[in-house]
Structure formats: C-alpha cells, structure tokens
Amino acid sequence: TKGKLIDCNFNGDELSGIISYLCKSTNDYSGNTAVKLSCSGNKQSSLANIIKYDQNNVYINSYDKSDNWIKFDFGERKINLSSYTIRTNHCIQNNCAYPKTWKIYGSNDGENWDEIDIRTNNSELNGRYHQKRFECQNSNKFYKYIKYIQDESWHNRSYCKYKIKLTCIEFFGTIIEK
C-alpha cells in the first residue's frame, strides 16, 4: 500500500489518536466524512456521539442479539491498529451495559474480516466512566474498515445482554493516506 504515512500511536493521551486526528484535520465530527460510522440494530442516540469524546454524549444501541457492532469506514485511508481506548457511560443504575466480551476486526472489502483483538469476561470497563486503552493482539496489517463487535455486557437483564452503551472509542496506530 502506497501513500503518506501518519503516525497516530499512543503518546500519553488515551483520547488523541487516529479518530481524533481525522476529525480535527477535516473539522468533521458527524460520523459521515472523516470517519464513516455504521452499526447494527436500533440506535437510541447519535452514533457520532462515540467520536465526540464528551462524557455527556453517549452512544446507545439496543440491539438484542449477539454480534452487536459498530463499523468505522476510513474511506480512501487505511489504518494499522496497534491499540484502542474505550470509555463507558455515565449510567446511574446498577448493572449497566458495560462491555464484558468484545472483538475488534479489520477488513479491506467489508466481507472478509481479520481478528485484531478479542477480550473475554473483561472486568476493566465494568463501571461508570471507566476508560482503558487496550493493546491489540494482532496489529500487522492496514485496513479500510474496523469493526467493534460487542458479544456481551455486564448487564444482568437478558434484554440488555448485548446492548452497547459507550461514550467513546479511539484508535491508535498508523494511517496511510492516498
């Protein structure tokens, strides 16, 4: 893959990576241009909230099946994902839909997906406004698409088992811009 390489590796700030760079450089936080966002199921709030990094802007997806996902489309760009940050929501009820088991995949055609990272029964995000950066297990390729798939949340009600309720996802690594 040829093009201009842009380094957006983790540099101490868990919310200053690839998505932040692209949104700032294009002045677009809509989820339509800098990074195109799509998701499964029924959005209960704006999907763009997940790239605004404001704790008051929550993205909620109430899809009630496994493989609830958010897809990030980088358009003409490709990214090599080395790590990522997730921050939970401000839920004030007990047992909110905090991520428990999830996967990160990459693809260049939207059909065939490579595993980049998998977390199972992870308790590090089980709480209000918990934020954590995770190193990717497989970070050796550049991808046009990145997909976050939530397989399970810490919610104790079956109808919320797969719900995604987050205030941000940020990616770190390298961008190839044509």
Q: What is the pLDDT of residues 138-169, one digit of tens each?
A: 988 999 999 999 888 888 777 778 888 888 99
Q: Which 3 state secondary structure label does DSSP give 132?
A: strand
DSSP 19: H
| CB distance 67 to 103 below 8 Å | no
Predicted confidence band of residue 93 (pLDDT cuts 50, 70, 90) = low
Instruction: Tell me: pLDDT of 4 over 90.
Output: yes
**In angstroms, what CA-CA distances link 85 with 2, 4, 65, 160?**
27, 24, 24, 22
Structure tokens at 53: 């990094």
CB 59, CB 45: distance < 8 Å: yes
Predicted pLDDT at 162: 81
Tens of pLDDT, residues 16-64 = 999 999 999 999 988 888 899 998 877 767 888 888 888 777 787 766 6
Tokens of 144: 């046009």
H-helix segments, the chain: 18-26
Distance, in Å, from the CA atom of 95 to the CA atom of 127, rounded to the nearest integer, reads 8
Residue 83: strand, helix, or coil: strand
Looking at residue 157, what is its pLDDT? 75
Q: Is the torsion defined by CA of 28, 7, 18, 21 positive or negative? A: negative
User: 126 pLDDT exceeds 60?
Assistant: yes
Q: Which of 96, 66, 118 is nearest to 165 (CA)?
A: 96
